[in-house]
């Protein structure tokens, strides 16, 4: 029901400790204030079905003994292909009326990562990020160079119009007509953030994280947010946790929020829940930043922490329980 979007909430929770060989996956579809009641009610079943397909895609790989990295990628591809989220098809528009996409992925086993920023023709930016990680010695490629690399790597290339949806275009035109542009989504009272992300734990005890986004509506000057920045919007380390973030990227970048959560655990002895709560409800909120994170530790404990009024998320925990939530319902 739409009412779940309206409940104020800041939630974190821990799952049961994973037995050896158990798996888990958590996904998010953005944190912010609710999307319009009418739009949500018209698409609620599609939201639920897409989030469930995303979870199933990742969990199937994990159950078969596959890598957490592959599970994260598979889950994100499903959301990138859906027009419901601000990632891949359905991305928001820049001030110039274009779509510029960012993504990153990281392997907690060996601390390697790949990312792309400002790409315009790569159908699935998360695949480009994975290719950067595995086919180059770089971490981040941006703009025309990243698009060229994706073509040479054999990834699926689309015309820029592929990413356009009428819903996003209408919102862009409304913002342009009001001459608000990025101000609509950049402030503390930001609208819904549709960035997507996933974190996973595989049977070998390896963690991985990934994030993909279209950025902020009305962004200027080739702006890049936190999603492709390792340590800000994405981080994974088997010695601590896997994190994917969503929200106002500038604040996540300044405080290296994803890495901060890992560091609080690794060097400060905090639990995943304590670390995420301190970073999101403490550091980020004190700075005036809005957003949230999903996280997993190597024991299979799950965290969803946000300081906005809603966050789209879902998970399959180590006991196989499946949940999809749009608002702020607490507990399990």
- Of 209, 202, 313, nearest to 261 by C-alpha is 209
Dihedral sign for Cα atoms in the order 258, 261, 262, 263: positive
Dist. CA 192–CA 184, nearest whole Å:
10
Dist. CA 100–CA 94, nearest whole Å:
7
User: Residue 103 phi/psi, 5° resolution?
Assistant: -160, 155
Dist. CA 256–CA 272, nearest whole Å:
16
| Residue 101, beta-bridge partner list | 119
Dist. CA 52–CA 50, nearest whole Å:
5
Helices assigned H by DSSP within the chain: 37-63, 68-80, 125-135, 143-152, 166-177, 183-186, 249-255, 257-268, 272-277, 285-287
- Of 326, 330, 296, 324, nearest to 310 by C-alpha is 326
Q: Which residues of 124-147 are buried (b: 16+ CB within 10 A; e: fewer)?
A: bbbbbbbbbbeeeeebbbbeeebb
- Three-state DSSP class for residue 243: strand
Residue with tokens 């104020």: 8
Q: Of the listed 195, 213, 234, 283, which one is catalytic?
A: 195
- 159 contacts 121 by C-beta, under 8 angstroms: yes
- 60 contacts 75 by C-beta, under 8 angstroms: no
Dist. CA 224–CA 211, nearest whole Å:
13
Please confirm, yes or no, whether 165 is among the known catalytic residues.
Answer: no
Where in the sequence numbering do the catalytic residues fall? Answer: 195
């Amino acid at each position: 029901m739409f009412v779940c979007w309206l409940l104020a909430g800041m939630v974190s929770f821990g799952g049961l400790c994973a037995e050896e060989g158990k798996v888990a996956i958590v996904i998010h579809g953005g944190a912010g204030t609710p999307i319009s009641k009418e739009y949500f009610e018209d698409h609620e079943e599609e939201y639920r079905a897409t989030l469930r397909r995303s979870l199933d895609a990742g969990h199937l790989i994990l159950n078969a003994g596959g890598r957490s990295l592959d599970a994260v990628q598979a889950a994100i591809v499903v959301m990138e292909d859906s027009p419901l989220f601000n990632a891949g098809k359905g991305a928001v528009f820049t001030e110039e009326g274009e779509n510029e996409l960012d993504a990153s992925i990281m392997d907690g086993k060996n601390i390697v990562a790949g990312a792309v920023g400002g790409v315009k023709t790569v159908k699935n930016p998360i695949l480009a990020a994975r290719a950067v990680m595995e086919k180059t010695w770089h971490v981040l490629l941006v703009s025309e160079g990243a698009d060229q690399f994706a073509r040479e790597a054999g990834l699926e290339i689309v015309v820029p119009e592929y990413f356009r949806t009428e819903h996003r275009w209408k919102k862009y035109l409304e913002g342009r007509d009001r001459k608000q542009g990025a101000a609509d989504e950049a402030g503390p009272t930001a609208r819904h953030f549709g960035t997507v992300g996933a974190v996973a734990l595989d049977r070998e005890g390896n963690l991985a994280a990934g994030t993909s986004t279209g950025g902020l509506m009305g962004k200027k000057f080739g702006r890049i947010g936190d999603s492709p920045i390792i340590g800000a919007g994405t981080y994974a380390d088997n010695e601590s946790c896997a994190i994917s973030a969503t929200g106002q990227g500038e604040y996540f970048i300044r405080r290296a929020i994803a890495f901060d959560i890992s560091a609080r655990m690794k060097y400060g002895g905090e639990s995943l829940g304590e670390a995420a709560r301190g970073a999101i409800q403490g550091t980020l909120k004190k700075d005036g930043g809005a957003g949230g994170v999903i996280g997993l530790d190597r024991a299979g404990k799950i965290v969803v922490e946000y300081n906005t009024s809603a966050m789209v998320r879902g998970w399959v925990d180590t006991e196989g329980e499946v949940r999809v939530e749009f608002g702020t319902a607490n507990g399990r």
